[in-house]
Structure 1
Amino acid sequence: MEIAIAPEMRCYSGGLGVLAGDYLRAAADLALPMVFVTLANREGYVLQEIDAQGNQIDRPHPWEPGDHAVPLDTVVTVPVAGRDVAVRAWMHVSEGVTGARVATLLLDTDLPQNSAEDRALTGRLYGGDARYRLRQEAVLGIGAARLLSAIGLAIGHWHLNEGHAALLPLELVRAGSDIDTVRRACVFTTHTPVAAGRDRFAFGLMEAELPRDYRAAYDRVLPDAEDLDMTLLAMRLSGYANAVSKRHRDVASDLYPGEDIAYVTNGVHPGYWAAPAMQALFDAQASGWREDSDALAAIAMTDPARVAQAHEAARANLIESVRTRTGRQLDPQRPILCYARRMTGYKRPTLMFEDLDRLRTIARRHPFTLLIAGKAHPNDGGGKDAIRAIHDFARQCDDMPSVVFLPGYGLELAHLLVGGADVWLNLPVPPLEASGTSGMKAAINGGLNLSTPDGWWLEGVREGANGWTIGDGDTDPDRHGALLLDMLAKTVLPAWYEDREGWNGMMRDAIATIGPAFSAQRAMREYARDAYRFDGLRG
């Protein structure tokens, strides 16, 4: 549904799209014979503005695919509400580190033969109501199947990234393929246990929007279903299904009893996310890391002072960017803690502020800076309330700690934050964070994670050596706020102020332990081996 290729290509909203972009880059590095497919999303997601009261103001953020991709001549149609909607694709080509190239096709309905209503179907990412969303997912799933067939590509496997593309295998069944054949050709990845991330549509809407043979095909796959369940449909029509961390596999298996669910823990692309000074260090100390991220393990032998020096360059860049963007001059002697992710309830963006008096007391003894960034979905009132509350808390803190909210979270700002953060905060209610990846990006830049016990961190943590965990699996989430402040007061901030040599060693170890194990190249190798059954990997 989204993919983050470049900041100026605004066909993504957040973590799901950013992950897809990293996997695209890794597929090119490994010369995998793949083509990625998404929607053009010409209107983008949300251009976030913040008013004087801390309210998020949602603006359109349009972009022009023709500035970054070339149009293909092939046009197919997708049935929507009794009419045929024309779909074509723009092709963008990404090049890997060894010169291999992988294409992304951006499906577009903004064609003169379509009505104004249909031309807007590939407009706003995650916009509109359920009807608009189902139509978008028809363009994505049915459109991808028909377009790639019309182009003449022989597809060995279809990888459905979340349930948004579930109409693709249903299209294959409707067109005459038997269910077992479709299952052998399809792979499905589920990315969240949160109910809001699982698209479900009433049968009445399905029957109004799609020809009746799609409902007939669906009834063959899920004869007892109560609605059009895109996640369960994709899972049932895929011979391989996976979660995105070990913990998430356990949660997903409970959510979908009887389904065989593997796991491929998410990863990030080190060459894309490492800050320039850190890349230079890797070039000197971890030969071949761009081609094979396993080489980053060699950083364990590097002088921690060199790691600290490289991190300081990215840190200075972040401090200067904050000054340019906000007019705030950060104190470079204070550690920088970052919280940056989608603003929504289960990620708990206000957890730090549950006890303001204690927070201020801690900051007076050990001053620190807290940088916060993230967008709320336009329909997420709770997320918008959190942003407004953060601005109110920032005023009450009065620089103890220094709290700065940075609007416009996207690829460009994310690079600055993960490059310069000293501590990366990850505070979801377990077990609702399926994986998470931002902390991985901070770690390859020497940032230390401070996280609740959830998602990828359960696999990556070496407690007190590459970061810290807030509580354990048995801890009541209602205690996390107090435990977070305990960790800051007794462990994290004293380590910064009283043992910088030890801190620098943790930075080095974070890179050496997390960089190789949580790379997008590693994840794509696992997909190629286990899901695609492809043995032609480069390297």
Structure 2
Amino acid sequence: MKMLITEEHTNGSKIAYFSMEIGLRDEIPTFSGGLGILAGDTIKSGADLNLPLVAVTLIYHKGYFKQDIDDQGRQIELPAQWEPSEIMHTVPEKTTVIIEGRTVYIQAWVYFVKSPKGGEVPVLFLDTNLQENSEEDRSLTDYLYGGDDNYRIKQEVVLGIGGVKILKILGFQIKKYHMNEGHAAFLTLELLHQLKNNLNDVWDESYIWDFEAVKELCVFTTHTPVEAGHDKFSYDLYRNVIGDYFPENVIHDLAGNDHLNMTLLALNLSNDVNGVAKKHGEVSQNMFPGYKINSITNGVHSYTWTCDSFKKLFDKHIPGWANEPELFVRTDLIPPDEIWNAHSEAKKILIDYVNSTNNLKMDHETLTIGFARRFATYKRASLLFNDIERLEGIASGKIQVIFAGKAHPKDEGGKKLIEDIFAYSENLKGKIKIAFVNNYNMETAMKIVSGVDVWLNNPIRPLEASGTSGMKAAHNGVLNFSVLDGWWIEGHIEGDTGWSIGPESTETVPDDNANKIDTDDLYNKLEQIIIPTFYQNRDKWVKMMKSAIGKNAYFFNTHRMMLRYVTEAYI
């Protein structure tokens, strides 16, 4: 049945959630990694909690990219072609934005995220691939994070300005606009325009823009402590693309004098600003002194990221867990053998899948370590191999390692890391089995986060904003072995919910000596604690698995996160 946006969907005040990427399912490849999956999990919890939410993103006809890897570990990027009409439908209404002096038409596809609890959230996917537009403008919604700054700023005009306009045309009454990262910050300029137009004011040099009214409408979540992650555009580019849409002298005051900084624009026009973990809030405050930046620690959607064997286990012992994740505190009541059997079932699914893709012949009994995430250099995917000779002495025949992840097509350093993993796999053949799972997506992520025994995460401190993959692992009783950064500072209890790598996080900028310190600690704990516990003290291991669920999954979920947004930012 074709679902349309009806008066029932637009009735009452809504929260408009804007995100450059949203990850709901693999068949809708409009996400690249953690930011998009978080957005999808946020929307799913919004539906479960029956929150008055509507979401806005872009359609990306060719997705992010489909990853292929050759025999040397070189990443090959292929278009992730898909057909939106098989999954969603368009709304008849259209809006326009002006780009480089041209009128660009925008239409929205709509997909409804429905909860078994009865809630429903419409997600609008904006599309410029329309007959009315030029070939150049039709391609603006082809690729996620594709092209150059010129392509990116045009996409952000479509998302921010076009998104606000399409919501108004469709009849949504918006109480708050939540910007998930700075990509959508142009929405603030459209809100300023609409306030002016409502007053029928003429724009001249004497006009006083109502910044305070827009600030009351806007919530901003910043996700990156990495300077390069904050979008900045030259004012020459701004003038060329946006023209006289908004006075440049005012933009300088809001977004910076040297470059148009989208994060600054969002900061200056939002009353509620937050980082995504306590530590990240501190780091963001250090990056942008003078602004009040709170923190609301991320979570994951519990039902989505719990594997089938643990779903059955939780249904049996903790009924209601999916919509009340706080009930995970009762995990300790589950018999240890049932915990281990559920994990063994998930591990078998993963190992059998990995073995079907290569000839490594991984086995079901060996301690299996997982590392799967975006391949950016600061995440240090190859830290485990910093001292090959020592690693061999510690772990030959005792561990096997599974990697997965995509490097951005323009990130040569990230691509080189994938090649390095392949080289280490070859060098350690016969000693440590190392697999790389191709084309990391939600389906493979579910297999890996639930099927490994240990989840490894070792970014350079303090560059991990949150790190939601470790939360997914915890939902499946998988133990985290991570540097103390992002969420793990809050979730870590040494020897209880997992283990730390390196010292406590006191930095607000990276430490050049971190590699050696962290490598030594990683090897020491692997040799002296993790490997012996796994093979010689199963009772201790299962007790820790229970702690990971009962103390981490209990808290680090998007139900808890969304309730905090409601009480601290939306109301």
Query: Normalized against structure 2, the TM-score is what?
Result: 0.91
Deviation at 1:131? 0.1
SS in 2 for 1:318: helix
Given that 1:304 and 1:507 are in contact with CA atoms closer than 8 Å, whether structure 2 keeps it comes out as no
Deviation at 1:367? 1.0
Q: Say whether 1:278 aligns with 2:310.
A: yes
Correspondence list, 1:488-527, <5 A: 488-527=526-565
Summarize deviations over 1:262-284 as a string: whole Å, max 9, x none: 11100001100101010011111
Q: 1:327 and 1:71 mapped to 2: Cα distance?
A: 45
Summarize deviations over 1:162-210 as a string: whole Å, max 9, x none: 0000000111113445111100000000001112210000000000000
Deviation at 1:223? 7.6
Q: 1:437 and 1:323 mapped to 2: Cα distance?
A: 27
SS in 2 for 1:273: coil
Correspondence list, 1:216-255, <5 A: 216=248, 218-219=250-251, 221-222=253-254, 225-255=257-287
- Note closer, same or farther for the CA distance 1:215–1:407 as it changes in structure 2 (3 Å cut): farther
Which residue, out of 423, 427, 445, partners 2:454?
423
Note the aligned Cα RMSD (angstroms).
1.3
2:381 aligns with 349
Amino acid at match of 1:496: F
SS in 2 for 1:155: strand
Which residue, out of 472, 493, 498, partners 1:462?
493
Q: Percent identity?
A: 41
2:402 aligns with 371
Amino acid at match of 1:456: W
Q: Say whether 1:308 aligns with 2:340.
A: yes
1:72 aligns with 91
Summarize deviations over 1:207-263 as a string: whole Å, max 9, x none: 000032424474374285221100010111011000000000100001010101111
Given that 1:221 and 1:237 are in contact with CA atoms closer than 8 Å, whether structure 2 keeps it comes out as no
Q: Which runs of 5+ in 1 are unaligned?
A: 534-539
SS in 1 for 2:123: strand
Given that 1:337 and 1:421 are in contact with CA atoms closer than 8 Å, whether structure 2 keeps it comes out as yes
Q: Which runs of 5+ in 2 are unaligned?
A: 1-19, 197-209
Correspondence list, 1:442-453, <5 A: 442-453=473-484
SS in 1 for 2:461: coil
Q: Say whether 1:262 aligns with 2:294.
A: yes
Summarize deviations over 1:477-520 as a string: whole Å, max 9, x none: 12211221111111111110110111011111111111111011
2:3 aligns with none
SS in 1 for 2:57: strand
- Note closer, same or farther for the CA distance 1:112–1:373 as it changes in structure 2 (3 Å cut): same
Q: 2:21 and 2:421 mapped to 1: Cα distance?
A: 28
Given that 2:251 and 2:260 are in contact with CA atoms closer than 8 Å, whether structure 1 keeps it comes out as no
Q: 2:115 and 2:297 mapped to 1: Cα distance?
A: 22
Q: Say whether 1:477 aligns with 2:514.
A: yes
- Note closer, same or farther for the CA distance 1:387–1:220 as it changes in structure 2 (3 Å cut): closer
Which residue, out of 41, 53, 56, partners 1:37?
56
Q: 1:367 and 1:488 mapped to 2: Cα distance?
A: 10
SS in 2 for 1:260: coil
Given that 2:255 and 2:261 are in contact with CA atoms closer than 8 Å, whether structure 1 keeps it comes out as no
Q: Say whether 1:388 aligns with 2:419.
A: yes
Which residue, out of 206, 222, 229, partners 1:190?
222
Deviation at 1:395? 0.4
Deviation at 1:329? 2.1
Deviation at 1:326? 2.2
Amino acid at match of 1:10: P
Q: Say whether 1:330 aligns with 2:362.
A: yes
Given that 2:255 and 2:264 are in contact with CA atoms closer than 8 Å, whether structure 1 keeps it comes out as no
Q: 2:56 and 2:389 mapped to 1: Cα distance?
A: 50
Which residue, out of 101, 110, 129, partners 2:120?
101
- Note closer, same or farther for the CA distance 1:523–1:399 as it changes in structure 2 (3 Å cut): farther
Q: 1:223 and 1:133 mapped to 2: Cα distance?
A: 17
Q: 1:18 and 1:453 mapped to 2: Cα distance?
A: 22
Q: 1:252 and 1:372 mapped to 2: Cα distance?
A: 30
SS in 1 for 2:304: helix
1:487 aligns with 525
Amino acid at match of 2:549: I
Q: 1:520 and 1:223 mapped to 2: Cα distance?
A: 31
SS in 2 for 1:513: helix
2:236 aligns with 204
Amino acid at match of 2:352: E
Q: 1:334 and 1:49 mapped to 2: Cα distance?
A: 28
Amino acid at match of 2:472: K
Q: 1:435 and 1:71 mapped to 2: Cα distance?
A: 35
1:537 aligns with none
Q: 1:207 and 1:250 mapped to 2: Cα distance?
A: 34
Q: 2:446 and 2:358 mapped to 1: Cα distance?
A: 17
SS in 2 for 1:390: helix
1:22 aligns with 41
